[in-house]
Structure 1
Amino acid sequence: MSLDEAAWAALRLSLWVAGWATLLSLPLALWVAWLLARGRFRGKGALNVAVHLPLVLPPVVTGYLLLVSFGRTAPLGRALDAVGVQLAFHWTGAVLAAIVMGFPLTVRAMRLAIEAVDPRLEAAAATLGAPGWAVFGRVTLPLIAPGILAGAVMGFAKAMGEFGATITFVANIPGQTQTLPSAIWTALQIPGGEGAALGMVALAVAVAVGAVALSEALARRVARRISGI
């Protein structure tokens, strides 16, 4: 079981991509989760389907759709390239792929947390004269904090393990777009590469265990703050 610089580079890129994907997706995921949990509007069912579509589509199909939408020859891709934003075959595209694939899991965790909050608590705060933003910030947000944390962890984990959409959209370029799952797959294609693959698998397991342990510690801390202990 051996690890070379390419393996460590793949791990660093995976952590970088997963971190950015989680950070960028959280605000939008929270808004969409709120719409699905509390909103009453035409097209809610269509929004729900669109959010969860990446869960049921083959990841390669999602990656291909991203490629034809944001590739350099696509109108949107050319427009972004004109302002200096490159997605296809670039690490930023890996972030986009991770966001798309992890978004349904993040939204679902947050939506369940929002639905678990008794609306009467929010109504009681509103009747005491608190504006809407204060009700959300002082009542709703603390109560759904564990759900937000769970969604962030699930999104991060999905981003760390994303393979199909990423390799289709940004390829597998060592040092540039090769994430840890892509590096493991590459090692398994080489005769005698099982040792390197096993080392990278151990890295992936260690990161996953660390993420779960950290989320559990943070969840307990949030629960203690909510209960006032």
Structure 2
Amino acid sequence: MDAAWVALGLSLKVAGWATALNLFLGVGVGFFLARMRFPGRDVLDTLLTLPMVMPPTVLGYYLLVLMGRRSVLGEWLYDNFGIHLIFTWQGAVIAATVVSFPLVFKPARAAFEAVEHELEQAARVLGVSELAIFFRVTLPLAWRGIMAGLLLAFARALGEFGATLMVAGSIPGKTQTLSIAVYEAVQAGQDGTAHLLVIIISIVCVAVLLGATRLAPGRVSGRNR
């Protein structure tokens, strides 16, 4: 029982950090692609969306190649800062961030593209700075779509399995998230523990998805009509 709550706490921590990182990465990239026009924009959009359709184990392999001790990045991080990401909860955060990134990026881009440019232009005419326009006009109009994406990303990161297992492994109390704990319990024939873990993660995911549904822009606009 205690192990289940430890796994839940670790899962919530990993999902929380992944969602926080995607708040900046996904929203920033979504705004950039919604506003900028340049050659190869569609190709970049496709590449950034790949984690949504690519098998998690493949993503985990790419992350191992990128962050492993023998990689250029992994060796540089270890030699200069003593940072080793493989088989750590920080590595699990990176894996969850990559996997859930499109779920923030795509809704954020759509939300920013739906903002009426006339409102932003009116603010410019009044002499409002671009930064103030973003925080006082653009973001308030797009926040529902962004928040719905963040909640979906949180739920996805909470249930991430393949990439997390390859990058962080399954170390009880350190890197064993709730979804991995379910797998380990089933493999060990611990049906009671598996049932408990499944119920816990199902309740959390249902609550998150209900919140995302209530914040969905289409649902809000439908009510207004």
TM, length-normalised to structure 1 = 0.89
Alignment of 1:155-174 (within 5 A): 155-174=153-172
Residue in structure 2 matched with residue 177 of structure 1 by the alignment: 175
Deviation readout 1:89-132 (Å, 9 max, x if unpaired): 11000000000000011111111111111111111111121111
Q: Distance in 2 between matches of 1:216 and 1:44?
A: 29
Question: Per-residue CA shift, 1:47-68, capped at 9, x if unaligned?
Answer: 1122111112111010011001
**Off by >2 Å, runs of 4+ in structure 1:** 209-220
Give how far 1:210 is off. Answer: 3.0
Partner of 2:185: 187
Match of 2:38 in 1: 41
| RMSD of Structure 2 on Structure 1 (CA) | 1.9
TM-score (norm 2): 0.91
Aligned partners of 2:147 and 2:212 also within 8 Å: yes
Aligned to 1:62: 59
Separation in structure 2 between the aligned mates of residue 127 and residue 158 of structure 1, nearest angstrom = 42
Q: 2:199 aligns with which of 191, 196, 202?
A: 202
**What is the match of residue 18 of structure 2?**
21
What runs of 5+ residues in structure 1 fail to find an aligned partner?
none
Match of 1:133 in 2: 131
Q: Secondary structure at the match of 2:175?
A: coil
The one-letter amino acid paired with 1:174 is P
Which AA in structure 2 matches 1:102?
Answer: S
Instruction: Tell me if structure 1 keeps the 8 A contact 2:151–2:211.
Output: no
**Aligned-residue offset at 1:24:** 1.4
Q: 1:48 to 1:219 in 2, by over 3 A?
A: closer
Secondary structure at 2:171 match in 1:
coil
In structure 1, C-alpha distance between the alignment counterparts of 2:171 and 2:187, rounded to whole Å: 15
SS of the residue corresponding to residue 55 of structure 1 reads helix
Give the counterpart letter for 1:33 in structure 2: G
Instruction: Tell me what 2:106 maps to.
Output: 108
Q: Is the 8 A contact 1:86 1:92 kept in 2?
A: no
Instruction: For 1:53, give the aligned amino acid.
Output: L
1:81-160 correspondence to structure 2 within 5 Å: 81-82=78-79, 83-160=81-158
Query: 1:214 deviation in Å?
Result: 4.9
Stretch of structure 1 that moved more, 72-81 or 101-110? 72-81
CA drift of 1:208 comes to 1.5
Cα distance in 2, alignment partners of residues 136 and 85 from structure 1: 36
- What is the CA-CA distance between 1:46 and the residue it aligns to? 2.5
Q: Which segment drifts farther, 198-207 or 36-45?
A: 36-45
Gaps of 5+ in 2: none
CA distance in 2, matches of 1:109, 1:52: 11
Among 201, 204, 208, the alignment partner of 1:211 is 208
8 Å Cα contact 1:17-1:95 kept in structure 2: yes
C-alpha contact (below 8 Å) 1:121/1:139 kept by paired residues: yes
Identity of aligned residues (%): 47
TM-superposed CA distance for 1:203, in Å, is 0.5
Amino acid at match of 2:205: A
Structure 1 contact 187–196 (Cα < 8 Å) conserved? yes
